[in-house]
Amino acid sequence: MSDHLRVVCAHCATINRVLRDRLNAGARCGSCKEPLLPGRPIELTAANFDRHVAGNDLPLVVDFWAPWCGPCRMMAPAYERAAAQLATQARIAKLDTESEQGIATRFGIRSIPTLVAFRDGREVARQSGAMDLPGLLRWIGASA
């Protein structure tokens, strides 16, 4: 296992190499100095999506959602808390399927919310339907 982990900055998308032991809530991006592990969902767009999928050594979980989707909005507070609790274990992100339809189509997203977990650049798990916080933590722990 490498001593270093690659972490894509949520703010500027620079790929940081961080010593595994130093990866904590205080870690900052070497380029823009923003916190590397913000403890809240990272907003993904067509501009940074592939970089986050390929460039993070931590597992990446993406919530495919939309502003008009009631169950998505209901799940949002639990998802934010999951992001805070898992800040050093996984990259927790969200993608607005309304503004980023190309990516939603590429992944064949037919219902939302849908969670997709990626590891080493590949999809490893997928789950549709809203979950509460215990359900989210369980699914992310088992899948990502």
Q: Which positions are catalytic? A: 69, 72
Contact 132, 82 (CB under 8 A): no
The letter for the amino acid at 2 is: S
Closest distance of CB 100 from Zn ion, Å? 21
Nearer to Zn ion, 48 or 114 (CB): 48
Nearer to Zn ion, 27 or 115 (CB): 27
Give the Cα separation of 102 and 25 in Å (integer): 33
Give the Cα separation of 56 and 49 in Å (integer): 11
Number of other CB atoms surrounding residue 35 within 10 Å = 16
Q: Give residues in contact with Zn ion (CB under 5 A).
A: 9, 11-12, 14, 29, 31-32
Nearer to Zn ion, 51 or 73 (CB): 51
Q: How many contiguous H segments (helices) and E segments (strands) does the chain have?
A: 4, 7
Closest distance of CB 133 from Zn ion, Å? 28
Closest distance of CB 36 from Zn ion, Å? 7
Closest distance of CB 95 from Zn ion, Å? 19
Strand partners, 18: 5
Nearer to Zn ion, 13 or 125 (CB): 13
Q: Where are the alpha helices (DSSP H) in the chain?
A: 49-55, 70-85, 101-106, 133-143
